[in-house]
Amino acid sequence: MSNTSVHRTLFPLLFLLLVGVFTGWSTLSSAQETATGDHVKVRWLAPDTFGPGEETIGFYFEVDPGWHVYWRNAGDSGAAPRFDFVGASGKVGEIQWPFPVRLPIEHLTNLGYEGDVAYLFTVTPEAERMELVVNLEWLVCKVDCIPGFGAMSLSRPVADQVVWPDGDKALRDRFAAQVPVVVRGDTGFPWSVRSVTAEAGGDSLQLVLEASEGDSAATPAVFPLDGNLLTAKAPQIAQSGSTIGYTFQRVPGAPLPDSTGFVISDGTRSWQLEQLDIQAAATAAPSLVDGGQPLWLLVLAAIAGGAILNLMPCVFPVLSIKLFGLVGPEKHAGERLHEGLRYAAGVLVTFAALGALLLVLRAGGAAIGWGFQLQSAPVVLGLILLFWVMALSFSGLYEFGHHLMNLAGNSRGGAFVTGVLAVFVVAPCTGPFMGAALGAATLLPAYGAMAIFLGLGIGLALPFVLLCVFPALLNRLPAPGPWMETLRQFLAFPLYATVIWLLWVLGRLVGESGWLIGAMLMLTIVFAFWLGRHGFRGSRWLAWGLVLAALVLSFGAANKLQHSGAAGAALAQESSDWQPYDRSAINQALSREQGVFIDYTAAWCITCQVNKKLVLESQEVEALFRENDVYLVRADWTDQNPEITRALGELGRNSVPVYAWYAPGETTPVLLPQILKADMIEALFDSK
């Protein structure tokens, strides 16, 4: 720039000429410093006086509440704004896009900005005045969309020092901080890309990140740059330790390019990854396990988690049945071993079946979580029936007990069936270790996921098998005798308790009629047994008929009620402090910088209920929440709720309980442990 003086006098003239000649718009006379359209106001973020060097300036969009404008990849519909520079007295760089948010609009997801946003770019003056003329086009949408057009000009002196108007520089800086840093070499990117994989003919693409400092609890949001390849729908997230897997849905039929890019945001900062090579899924999948957490470690964790399940209250009734069978008379060591192994087989086969089911559903794209079998009213009703019949027999009410004992204690099928049963009832007691293991299972390749499931099964069966293998342990148990009858009767009580709990679950699932249906079924069963024991003619047939009718009616009613959505009424009766799950309400609370506490819970989850009664709804904690104006959300997953399943997936979980705390002004949550204590809640506010 040696000939600056000539340059500076000549250029503005030339520039005006150029603009006058080449623009279709009536040039500077109509172009202004602002542009407006329906629900949108646009103005410059620019200094009053430019300095000699490069300066980042922007188009500041103020958008009416509820309306949004778009990111570079607009998502499933919509369009990014366009800035067509028709004249500039200097260099103009590429447009810089602050990282977006996902905007679920009905059945679609858009990527963009609600409220205000500034699209930035750098300019370097090359004349005495910084002159810019730009044609704008934008699209603003709520559900309906309105395009806007405008022309804007800027004319500011260039001097030795930059002078910004009050506030605008801060505004510019705010959005500049949201522009992703392109990751090349060391840019402080807190994750590293483990793999980008996709099957050639598949409908998904998987990105696996690994946190550099193992402890980063927050799961970053990832936005695809290429809307032709990936849909904007939030990816399914699976997290295991420091490894986070994102499964994106591909645009149907879109050809797979060699590479693709993403923007990754932790809510305050963001990074841009460009041209990541896409590997074929088959070769890349095993590396998922190798480098991160070795599979054997995950399986060990699963075994430990499974073993802990034995200590949970839900398993107790089932184990007690088996234990009762084992300590019974005429048992040899060999038989016990077989018994133990059959039980283990029952557990393992069921876990394998559930694992296979998870894999099938995962392949089908359905997000699903542990404990889902208890989201079905008919299944709950079936369990009520089963435990009721067992409890009655334990109480010695009818002869059936001997048959059951035979079934559970002697026959080959018995131990196996007990094993199957154990898995089903254990579901609500997701132990502390199980969350991580199951989270990993959703991320791992099929064989790894199956290994996790079997690990859980081995853990669950192990203590029992050990008891069988080492008869010495059994010998320590008292010799059979009349005490057994007492024990048997005593063991009926946990079963009754389970029945009561399941009735309550049923009530939550299908509304008030749930307990009525359950209780009527129980009454009919007892009456049928009484009829059956009385020897008058035809009473047995009558009993069977009654049982059959009761089964058909109750299962039919439970099924129908659940699908007619009667549960809504039951769920609405929550205490008023806790709001039902509503994503947009939560987002609103977050945007007004209110603290948000989300309790992901379900009626069939005992840990959740204990936490709720002892901690969340204790007076101190409730007072604490009120003092700090926390927006309380109870995300009830008792019934099938895809919204909540999705939210859980985004947190890298697929089981409850999960406690998510968004401190005021934070958009990434802190997850609290699954076993809550009041001081943990207090600690949230102490640190403030």
Member of 94, 144, 215, 627 binding other proteins (CB under 8 A): 144
User: Element (H or E) spanning 575, and its range?
Assistant: none
Phi-psi region of 449 (alpha: psi -120 to 50; beta: other; left: phi over 0): alpha
Please state the closest distance from residue 111 (CB atom) to other proteins, in A.
11
Cα 348 to its chain centre, rounded Å, is 27
Question: Six-digit token pair at 666?
Answer: 């934070």
Q: Which is nearer to other proteins, 53 or 253 (CB)?
A: 253
Please state the closest distance from residue 486 (CB atom) to other proteins, in A.
24
Member of 122, 279, 373, 587 binding other proteins (CB under 8 A): 373
Tell me whether the omega of the peptide bond preceding residue 428 falls within 30 degrees of 0, making it cis.
Answer: no
- Asked if 293 contacts 243 with a C-beta cutoff of 8 angstroms, the reply is yes
3-state secondary structure of 501: helix
Q: Which stretch binds other proteins (CB under 8 A): 47-55, 371-379, 501-509, 597-605?
A: 371-379
Cα(589)–Cα(533) distance, rounded to whole angstroms?
Answer: 62
Q: Which is nearer to other proteins, 82 or 412 (CB)?
A: 82
Member of 31, 57, 69, 80 binding other proteins (CB under 8 A): 80
User: Element (H or E) spanning 214, and its range?
Assistant: none
Q: Which is nearer to other proteins, 106 or 166 (CB)?
A: 106
Residue 141 binds other proteins, judged by CB under 8 A: yes
Return the residues of window 148-167 that contact other proteins according to CB under 8 A: 149
Member of 16, 312, 407, 469 binding other proteins (CB under 8 A): 407
Member of 53, 167, 188, 255 binding other proteins (CB under 8 A): 255
Spell 541-556 as b/e; 16+ CB within 10 A means b.
ebbeebbeebbeebbe
Member of 91, 184, 403, 534 binding other proteins (CB under 8 A): 403
Return the residues of window 6-65 that contact other proteins according to CB under 8 A: none
Please state the closest distance from residue 275 (CB atom) to other proteins, in A.
19
3-state secondary structure of 488: helix
- CB atoms under 10 Å from CB of 26, counted, come to 10
Member of 238, 383, 443, 570 binding other proteins (CB under 8 A): 383
Member of 18, 146, 281, 606 binding other proteins (CB under 8 A): 146
Side-chain half-sphere exposure of 130, counting CA atoms within 13 A: 24
Member of 312, 349, 386, 624 binding other proteins (CB under 8 A): 386
Binding mask 523-552 for other proteins (x = CB under 8 A): --x--x------------------xx--x-
Binding mask 471-510 for other proteins (x = CB under 8 A): ----------------------------------------
DSSP assignments along 344-374, one per residue = HHHHHHHHHHHHHHHHHHHHHT----TTGGG
Please state the closest distance from residue 559 (CB atom) to other proteins, in A.
7
Q: Which stretch binds other proteins (CB under 8 A): 338-346, 356-364, 591-599, 628-636?
A: 356-364
Q: Which is nearer to other proteins, 203 or 266 (CB)?
A: 203
Cα(136)–Cα(134) distance, rounded to whole angstroms?
Answer: 6
Return the residues of window 641-680 that contact other proteins according to CB under 8 A: 642
Please state the closest distance from residue 385 (CB atom) to other proteins, in A.
5
Question: Six-digit token pair at 93?
Answer: 């760089």
Q: How far is CA 391 from CA 255, 322, 383, 416, in A?
A: 60, 14, 12, 20
Return the residues of window 224-253 that contact other proteins according to CB under 8 A: 227-228, 251-253
Residue 376 binds other proteins, judged by CB under 8 A: yes
Residue 357 binds other proteins, judged by CB under 8 A: yes
Q: Which is nearer to other proteins, 539 or 559 (CB)?
A: 559
Strands 236-240 and 596-601: unpaired
Member of 123, 207, 348, 381 binding other proteins (CB under 8 A): 381
Q: Which is nearer to other proteins, 38 or 682 (CB)?
A: 38
- CB atoms under 10 Å from CB of 609, counted, come to 17
Member of 16, 18, 92, 254 binding other proteins (CB under 8 A): 254
Member of 45, 179, 263, 368 binding other proteins (CB under 8 A): 368
Residue 379 binds other proteins, judged by CB under 8 A: yes
Binding mask 282-311 for other proteins (x = CB under 8 A): ------------------------------
Q: Which stretch binds other proteins (CB under 8 A): 15-23, 151-159, 397-405, 624-632?
A: 397-405
Spatial neighbors of 649 by CB under 8 A, at least 6 apart, are 236, 237, 238, 367
Residue 223: is it exposed, middle or buried by C-beta count within 10 angstroms (0-12/13-18/19+)? buried
- Asked if 350 contacts 419 with a C-beta cutoff of 8 angstroms, the reply is yes
Cα(206)–Cα(246) distance, rounded to whole angstroms?
Answer: 5
Q: Which stretch binds other proteins (CB under 8 A): 278-286, 368-376, 488-496, 661-669?
A: 368-376
CA angle 293, 279, 367 (to 5 degrees): 60
2: amino acid identity, one letter: S
Please state the closest distance from residue 623 (CB atom) to other proteins, in A.
40
Residue 78 binds other proteins, judged by CB under 8 A: yes
Nearest to 239 by CA among 312, 154, 298, 156: 298
Secondary structure letter of residue 392 according to DSSP: H
Q: Which is nearer to other proteins, 385 or 567 (CB)?
A: 385
Residue 185 binds other proteins, judged by CB under 8 A: no
Binding mask 95-134 for other proteins (x = CB under 8 A): ----------xxxx--------------------------
Q: Which is nearer to other proteins, 132 or 528 (CB)?
A: 528
Q: Which is nearer to other proteins, 382 or 471 (CB)?
A: 382
Q: Which stretch binds other proteins (CB under 8 A): 54-62, 185-193, 321-329, 365-373?
A: 365-373
Q: Which is nearer to other proteins, 65 or 413 (CB)?
A: 413
Residue 400 binds other proteins, judged by CB under 8 A: yes
DSSP assignments along 611-666, one per residue = HIIIIITSHHHHHHHHHTT-EEEEEE-SS--HHHHHHHHHTT--SS-EEEEE-TT-
Cα(402)–Cα(409) distance, rounded to whole angstroms?
Answer: 10
Binding-site residue total for other proteins (CB under 8 A)? Answer: 60
Question: Six-digit token pair at 47?
Answer: 């200094």
Please state the closest distance from residue 38 (CB atom) to other proteins, in A.
11
Strands (E), 221-361: 221-224, 236-240, 243-249, 259-265, 270-277, 279-280
Question: 3-class secondary structure for 18-52?
Answer: HHHHHCCCCHHHHCECEEEECCEEEEEECCCEECC
Member of 35, 263, 321, 389 binding other proteins (CB under 8 A): 389
Spatial neighbors of 123 by CB under 8 A, at least 6 apart, are 50, 54, 55, 57, 88, 90, 91, 92, 93, 130, 132
Question: Six-digit token pair at 611?
Answer: 């936490």
Q: Contact positions toward other proteins, by CB under 8 A?
A: 74, 76-80, 82, 105-108, 137, 139, 141, 143-147, 149, 203, 227-228, 251-255, 357, 360-361, 364-366, 368, 372-373, 375-376, 378-379, 381-383, 385-386, 389, 400, 403-404, 407, 525, 528, 547-548, 551, 555, 559, 640, 642
